[in-house]
Amino acid sequence: MNYTFFDFLALVGSLGLFLYGMKIMSEGLQKMAGNRLRSILTAMTKNRVTGVLTGLLITALIQSSSATTVMVVSFVNAGLLTLVQSITVIMGANIGTTVTAWLISLLGFSVSIVDFSVPLMAVAIPFIFSSKSKRKSLGEFIMGFALLFIGLDWLKNSMPDLQSNPDMLAFLSRYTDLGFGSVLIFLGVGTLMTVIVQSSSATMAITLVMCAKGWIPFELGAAMVLGENIGTTITANIAAIPANISAKRAALSHLVFNVFGVIWMLVVFYPFTGLISHLVETIGPGDPNQLTAFTSSLDPATLSAISAPTGEGLTPDQLALKDQFLQYQLATSYGLSLFHTMFNIINTCVMVWFVKTIARTVSVLIPQKESDEEFQLKYISTGMLSTSELSLLQARKEIVVYSERTERMFHLVRDLYRETNENEFVKLFSRIEKYENISDRMEVEIAGYLTKVAEGRLSENGKHRLQAMLRVVSEIESVGDSCFNLARTIMRKRDDKAGYTKEMDDNVQLMFNLMEEALASMKKQLMAEQQEPHSDEFNRSENIENEINNFRNQLKMQNLNDVKEQKYGYQASVTYMDMINECEKMGDYIINVVEALDEEYYN
């Protein structure tokens, strides 16, 4: 076969151009949609049906199921979607991605869209150089669309002509004539190709071209499509590696859902592909199973002639054969697109009733570890409000959870101070950093919820309570910031290899004890019923705050004398006093919370 290394590079380059066009087109659409996609995802996933429709709509718009699933995983990681909600969106994304296959079938094989691609680029250029971002994004979309179809056309023309090489055909026939074994082999090929290429749309294009060239029959093309549904899940699982446990479970649920779907489809594979063939033959251009037999019946020279992009120099008989060849190609591409769509629709319609079962399955496969922390609001939903007064009660419960998380964060800081093992120290610091991110998100979500509540009808007492809660949330977030600052100071102490005397260690531990008392007192007042007076606990908090201030002042004076007397180095004194001062600041934030609670009661 006259197929050189240069021809192979042209094939790889054509695939690269197709992928690049897909990427630019998808990114352009995502930029145009902007925050609307995020608002749609968080607002339209309240039940199974709307979740599926949301995933379908977004994927059909941005032309990338991988982009949708990665977005979903990031939203689960941020606590904006639950695991069950994410599974329904991913199911919808599986249906939405079939739009790409239809786009390729309708325009890539039946219409010579490549003839319009260069003029489309000319249209895109002014938009790309526009100063307005939306016009620029529209230009990127048009340019990506043009590049995608140029890449597809080059891909079709860069494929080697196997019909002219009997040895290659004989080699391929070894794997296409094994019955159900061939189905399993090509399912694996489809999976592997999608994992490597990282785009089910690109692998779908390759499958369509392979079938259109007559390399493999329609049924084996359908098997590759099944493999692509498994391979496409790898992107979300890679994206979930650094994320929290809920995000990992969401990504795994995509794999579980698709694997279950492929298993039941393999049971009914031959009857199902037969049904698809019958539908395409009855309604569409012809029988998709006839293409392989048709190409095998022609001699290599005739097949090469009728496969050429233009029909120049062909005899009337060859022109008739070319028309028949194009009809069979169209039938095969329609058949694969219909198979892809029907499989995903039926799979979703069946599996959508087992969403909770899938959620439980992935929860068993990825169990919760003690060190795993994830952000998920327990008592309030940022999308739905109860009656205003009841909403305040729910917000109060959520604030208690917030204070408990912050208290656990401080306990981790104490553990970090005592930790001597390098690996454990790094793990602890990473957990504290994760807590800091959770603290920031909780403040935003609770404050946003309270702002929505403020728009409703509230009594005068309710308004005072709401203002107090907003202040409490802000101060608790500041406590979390102080905890993280302490952790960074401890990290700096470790990096500086600053040695503390026993007296310094004892003083730090005494200050930490006071902080724990202050946090415990704050939490106790948060957990008390709002109607109950808590003056005793308030007085206790004030006494602890005075102790913290006095102890800080005492240590500040003592530190100056100790450095002068050279009991320890100046570098050690810097991190030492930074920790003491940060604790005093944290004490101020805690007493601010307590004062806000006191005002809430007396107002």
**Partners of 384 in beta bridges:** 381
pLDDT at 463: 82
- pLDDT greater than 60 at residue 109: no
- Distance between CA atoms of 341 and 225, rounded to whole angstroms? 10
- pLDDT greater than 50 at residue 384: no
- pLDDT greater than 60 at residue 168: no
Predicted confidence band of residue 578 (pLDDT cuts 50, 70, 90)? very high
For residue 150, CA distances in Å to 118, 373, 376 come to: 9, 47, 46
pLDDT digits (tens, 9 = 90+) for 52-104: 887 887 777 766 666 677 777 766 765 667 778 888 888 888 888 787 777 77
Q: Which CATH architecture has domain 388-602?
A: Up-down Bundle (1.20)
- pLDDT greater than 60 at residue 110: no
**Partners of 381 in beta bridges:** 384
H or E segment to which residue 181 belongs: helix 180-197
Predicted confidence band of residue 112 (pLDDT cuts 50, 70, 90)? low
- Distance between CA atoms of 131 and 8, rounded to whole angstroms? 40
Encoded tokens for 408:
């656990």
Specify the higher pLDDT residue, 228 or 7: 228
- pLDDT greater than 50 at residue 513: yes
pLDDT digits (tens, 9 = 90+) for 450-501: 888 887 777 777 888 888 899 999 999 999 999 999 999 999 998 888 788 8
Predicted confidence band of residue 382 (pLDDT cuts 50, 70, 90)? very low
Predicted confidence band of residue 356 (pLDDT cuts 50, 70, 90)? confident
Which of 282-296, 346-360, 500-514 reaches the highest mean pLDDT?
500-514
- pLDDT greater than 80 at residue 408: yes
Mean pLDDT along residues 167-190: 74
pLDDT at 19: 74
- Distance between CA atoms of 414 and 599, rounded to whole angstroms? 32
For residue 297, CA distances in Å to 88, 122, 280, 292 come to: 47, 43, 22, 9
Mean pLDDT along residues 280-299: 76
Q: Where are the domains positioned within the chain?
A: 5-365, 388-602
pLDDT at 386: 47
- pLDDT greater than 80 at residue 246: no
With b for 16 or more beta-carbon neighbours within 10 A and e for fewer, the 33-48 pattern comes to beeebeeebbebbeeb
pLDDT at 20: 82
Specify the higher pLDDT residue, 385 or 569: 569
Q: Backbone phi, then psi, for 381, in 5-degree steps? A: -120, 125
pLDDT digits (tens, 9 = 90+) for 184-243: 988 988 888 887 776 677 777 778 777 777 778 888 888 988 988 888 887 677 767 766
pLDDT at 113: 61
pLDDT at 46: 64
Handedness of CA 161, 110, 280, 257 (dihedral sign): positive
pLDDT at 531: 44
Mean pLDDT (the chain, rounded) = 80
pLDDT at 159: 64
- Distance between CA atoms of 156 and 154, rounded to whole angstroms? 5
pTM for this structure? 0.60
Mean pLDDT along residues 514-521: 92
pLDDT at 584: 93
- pLDDT greater than 80 at residue 122: yes
Mean pLDDT along residues 385-406: 77
Among 137, 102, 70, smallest CA distance to 284 is for 102
